[in-house]
C-alpha cells in the first residue's frame, strides 16, 4: 500500500460508499440506487478483507487485484464483470471529487470488452411457452393472483416494479387500460421516474380476468399508505421478492405438470427451467416486434428507448428480421 496521497482526506471505504449512495439518492430512483449499492458492496468487502481502511491508499494495482478477486469469487461472466467494473469506475471517479482517492485512479480501472452477443442476457420466455402458461392458468387458475400477474407481465411487458405499484383504482376496466404512476413517497416508484408514467392498454380478455380477480379473489387489504394494491398479501402490498417468487413458480414446467429437468425437492422455489420477470418482459417485447408492431409503438408501450430496445430486448434472429422485411417489400 502507498502512503497517504497529498491533498487527500482520509476516509473509510464503507463511509465513502454511504456518502456516494446518499449522493445518488438526490438524483436517481431507488431502483437505480439499489443497483449502485449492490455493485459497490464488493469493493468495500475487498478493502476490508485486505486491510484497506483508508481509500487514500488505494492504487491501480489494488484495482487490478479487486477485478481478479471479483471474477474468481463470483464465477461471473464477461457481461457481469463489465457492469461491475464500470460501476467501480464511476464510484472511484466520484470519490476523486471529494478528495478520497487519486484524481486519475478511475482511469486505471480495466473494463473487459463485451461482444454484441454477450451484451444481452440470453434468458427469455418464448411465445409458445407463454401461451401454454396462459392456457393452463386460464383453465386451472382462472382469475387467480398468478393468472393476473403473468397475464399482465406478458401482455404489457411491464417491469416488475411497475406491476407491484399498481393499485386497484389504477386498473380501469371499462376503458381497458392500466395507469402507471410514479409514487416514490409511497414506496412505489417507476424505474424512469415521472417519465415512466403512462396509460397502458390491455385486452378485453385481460380486463375481464382482472375484474373477476378483484371482485372474488384479491385480499381486501390496504397498504401502510391506505392504498389498495392490486397484488396484496396479508400485510398489504406484496414485495418484489414475493412477486418474483410467484413468477419463478408459474414459469417452471412442473407448475403445468410437465417434465422439469431442473426441478428439485428442496425449498428453493426457483427451478432451473423457470425464468425471471425480466425474461417475460424481453419475450413480450420480442413477440410484439415479431408481430410487426412498429418499434415506436413498442418503445412507448414498454417505456424503453429505441436504442436500449434494440440492444437489450430485441431477440429476433437475423433470419426473422429478413423475412419480416421481405413481407413488407412484397406489398410494395
Q: How confident is the model over 209-230, as a mean pLDDT?
A: 96
Give one DSSP letter per residue of 99-154, joined into a string: TSS-TTGGGG-------GGGGS------HHHHHHHHHHHHHHSTTSHHHHHHHHHH
Q: What is the pLDDT of residues 256-287, one digit of tens each?
A: 887 665 565 444 555 767 888 988 998 999 88
pLDDT for 71 beyond 90: no
Residue-range domain boundaries for the chain: 13-118, 127-313
pTM: 0.64
**Fold of the domain spanning 13-118:** DNA polymerase; domain 1 (1.10.150)
Question: How would residue 220 be classed by pLDDT, with cut points 50, 70 and 90?
Answer: very high
CA 272 → CA 125, 263, 284, distances in Å?
13, 6, 21
Q: What is the pLDDT of residues 36-66, one digit of tens each?
A: 888 899 899 999 999 999 999 999 999 999 9
75 compared with 224, residue with greater pLDDT: 224
Architecture of domain 127-313: Orthogonal Bundle (1.10)
Cell of 27: 438524483
Give one DSSP letter per residue of 231-295, joined into a string: SEETTEEPPHHHHHHHHHHHHSGGGGT---TT--SSS----TT---HHHHHHHHHHHHHHTT--H
- Of the candidates 252, 190, 250, the one whose C-alpha atom is nearest the C-alpha of residue 32 is 190
- Of the candidates 171, 173, 122, the one whose C-alpha atom is nearest the C-alpha of residue 163 is 171
Q: What is the pLDDT of residue 149?
A: 98
- How close are the terminal C-alpha atoms of the chain, in Å? 69
Question: How would residue 230 be classed by pLDDT, with cut points 50, 70 and 90?
Answer: very high
Q: What is the pLDDT of residue 273?
A: 74
Q: What is the pLDDT of residues 99-150, one digit of tens each?
A: 999 999 999 999 888 765 555 455 788 888 999 999 999 999 999 999 999 9
Q: What is the pLDDT of residue 254?
A: 86
Q: What is the pLDDT of residue 2?
A: 41
Cell of 25: 439518492
Amino acid at each position: 500500500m502507498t502512503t497517504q496521497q497529498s491533498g487527500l482526506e482520509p476516509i473509510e471505504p464503507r463511509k465513502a460508499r454511504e456518502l456516494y449512495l446518499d449522493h445518488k439518492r438526490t438524483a436517481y430512483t431507488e431502483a437505480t440506487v439499489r443497483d449502485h449499492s449492490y455493485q459497490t458492496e464488493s469493493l468495500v468487502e475487498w478493502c476490508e478483507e485486505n486491510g484497506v481502511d483508508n481509500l487514500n491508499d488505494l492504487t491501480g494495482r489494488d484495482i487490478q487485484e479487486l477485478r481478479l478477486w471479483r471474477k474468481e469469487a463470483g464465477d461471473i461472466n464477461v457481461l457481469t464483470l463489465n457492469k461491475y467494473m464500470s460501476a467501480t469506475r464511476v464510484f472511484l471517479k466520484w470519490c476523486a471529487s471529494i478528495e478520497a482517492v487519486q484524481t486519475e485512479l478511475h482511469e486505471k480501472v480495466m473494463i473487459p470488452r463485451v461482444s454484441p452477443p454477450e451484451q444481452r442476457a440470453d434468458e427469455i420466455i418464448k411465445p409458445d411457452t407463454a401461451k401454454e402458461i396462459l392456457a393452463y392458468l386460464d383453465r386451472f387458475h382462472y382469475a387467480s393472483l398468478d393468472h393476473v400477474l403473468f397475464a399482465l407481465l406478458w401482455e404489457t411487458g411491464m417491469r416488475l416494479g411497475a406491476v407491484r405499484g399498481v393499485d386497484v383504482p389504477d386498473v380501469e376496466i371499462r376503458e381497458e387500460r392500466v395507469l402507471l404512476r410514479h409514487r416514490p413517497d409511497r414506496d412505489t416508484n417507476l424505474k424512469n421516474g415521472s417519465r415512466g408514467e403512462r396509460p397502458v392498454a390491455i385486452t378485453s380478455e385481460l380486463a375481464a380476468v382482472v375484474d373477476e380477480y378483484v371482485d372474488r379473489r384479491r385480499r381486501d387489504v390496504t397498504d401502510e399508505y391506505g392504498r389498495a394494491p392490486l397484488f396484496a398479501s396479508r400485510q398489504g402490498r406484496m414485495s418484489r421478492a414475493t412477486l418474483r417468487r410467484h413468477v419463478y413458480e408459474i414459469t417452471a414446467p412442473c407448475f403445468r405438470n410437465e417434465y422439469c429437468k431442473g426441478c428439485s425437492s428442496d425449498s428453493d422455489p426457483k427451478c432451473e427451467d423457470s425464468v425471471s420477470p425480466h425474461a417475460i418482459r424481453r419475450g413480450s417485447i420480442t413477440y410484439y416486434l415479431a408481430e410487426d408492431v412498429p418499434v415506436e409503438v413498442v418503445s412507448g408501450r414498454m417505456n424503453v428507448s429505441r436504442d436500449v430496445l434494440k440492444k437489450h430486448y430485441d431477440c429476433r434472429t437475423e433470419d426473422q428480421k429478413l423475412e419480416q422485411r421481405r413481407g413488407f417489400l412484397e406489398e410494395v
